[in-house]
Amino acid sequence: MRSVGETPAVSIPGSDGPTSLTTVAVVGTTGYTGQEVRRLIDAHPGLGAPRLLTARHATADAPGDAPDAPEPFHPERLDGVAVVFLCTPHGVAQPLARTELERGCRVVDLSADFRLRDPELHARTYGAKHTAPELLDEVVYGLTEHARPRLPDARLVANPGCYPTSVLLPLLPLVSAGLVDQDVPVVADCKSGVSGAGNTPAPSNVFGAVHDNFRAYAVGGHRHAPEIKQEAGIRKLVFVPHLLPVFRGILSTIYLRPVQGASAEGMRAHLQDYYEGEPFVRVLDGEEGQPSLADVQRTNRCHVALAEQDGHVVITSAIDNLVKGAAGQALQNMNLMLGFPEDAGLT
């Protein structure tokens, strides 16, 4: 067993690491994010063939005969694995992460299991008691652009939710700089493609319900609201998600009141300065128009624009929910955990 935090052998141009390919594992490989993680691992120059695992099957029986069928999750199958990507529904990752950490692996959890720091808030939000609360203190919330200094030593990374990623990337630097009036709620009006709901069919996400249609859902009670409030450090948030008749992509429109003396122009300048040189976050100039899903689909990019209307600042932010909102950000985090260039496999 390798000791936790030990960097495995790696070698790619621009990397500080030593030689040979690194082994990672993916749990939940048949889901949308699991497939996306696999696609990105295949394109990553420093990673070898991933170990594909499933935690859905309780026995050690192989779930299928295909050459890339996942093996049942078993601690021994983690030997030699540097990082495990958990692409499983919430609730599943808590015991898995504990086992993986004990085995000397590092973990990037794409589910919501480790995102909320308060176990009571987690229980209220997700309807079940947290079963690994002892791990919450060490979790690094992996909004990469804001988590960089902590990632090289992180054992357990909570990959942010897709909606929170689209909202927090523009909002967080503005709140931190004291530019947002916190006496009025921030309004996040967000629209997602149907892949955001995962690959389990439900009456609300089958073709007949989504095609040629558009509606809000979970109004007043979506689980990503506490996550956005926690990470942005805001008291009041109105968050309304909508289901778009497209497969991938999120467009979030954020309405906020600036503090006295602040303006959309000043906020744009602040964000452009903040994200200058970032490989994946682009704050558009006033004349460049609006972010669109087509510009970010299948990329790890987030495009942001700002405008002003009647004393409010309107921010639009577009990402691909399966890439910057899930698998791409997970690989970006892994790159920093293992000492790869941050954009390795992502450009």
Residues belonging to the active site: 162
- As beta bridge partners, residue 157 has 108, 140
Q: Which of 34, 46, 33 is nearest to 334 (CA)?
A: 46
Query: Closest CB to ligand NAP among 158 and 338?
Result: 158
Sheet with 250-256, side-by-side order of all strands: 215-216, 237-243, 186-192, 250-256, 312-319, 302-309, 281-283
Nearest residue (CB) to ligand NAP, 297 versus 321: 321
Nearer to ligand NAP by Cβ, of 315 and 326: the residue is 326
User: Minimal distance in Å, beta carbon 280 to ligand NAP?
Assistant: 16
Q: How far is the CB of 101 from ligand NAP (least distance, A)?
A: 18
C-beta of 88 vs 335, nearer to ligand NAP: 88
In whole angstroms, what is the distance from residue 180 CA to residue 172 CA?
10
CB of residue 187 vs ligand NAP: minimum separation in angstroms? 22
Listed in sequence order, the residues at least 6 apart from 187 whose beta carbon sits closer than 8 Å to its beta carbon are 237, 238, 239, 240, 254, 255, 256
Residue 91: CB atoms within 10 A of its CB come to 15
Least distance between ligand NAP and beta carbon 125 (Å): 13
Minimum Å gap between C-beta 220 and ligand NAP is 20
- Residue owning tokens 């700089």: 177
97 in Cβ contact with 109 (< 8 Å)? yes
Please report, as ranges, the residues that interact with ligand NAP according to CB under 6 A: 28-34, 54-56, 70, 87-90, 92, 110-112, 161-162, 195-196, 198-200, 321-322, 325-326
Residue nearest to ligand NAP (CB): 31
Q: At what angle do helices 224-232 and 162-176 cross, to 10 degrees?
A: 20
- In the complex, the smallest distance separating the C-beta of residue 214 from ligand NAP, rounded to whole angstroms, is 18
Which residue, 155, 132, 131, 129, is CA-closest to 142? 155
Report d(CA 59, CA 89) in Å as an integer.
19
The 3-state DSSP composition of the chain as helix, strand, coil percent (nearest 5) reads 35, 20, 45
**How many Å separate Cα 329 from the centre of its chain?**
5
Nearer to ligand NAP, 110 or 151 (CB): 110
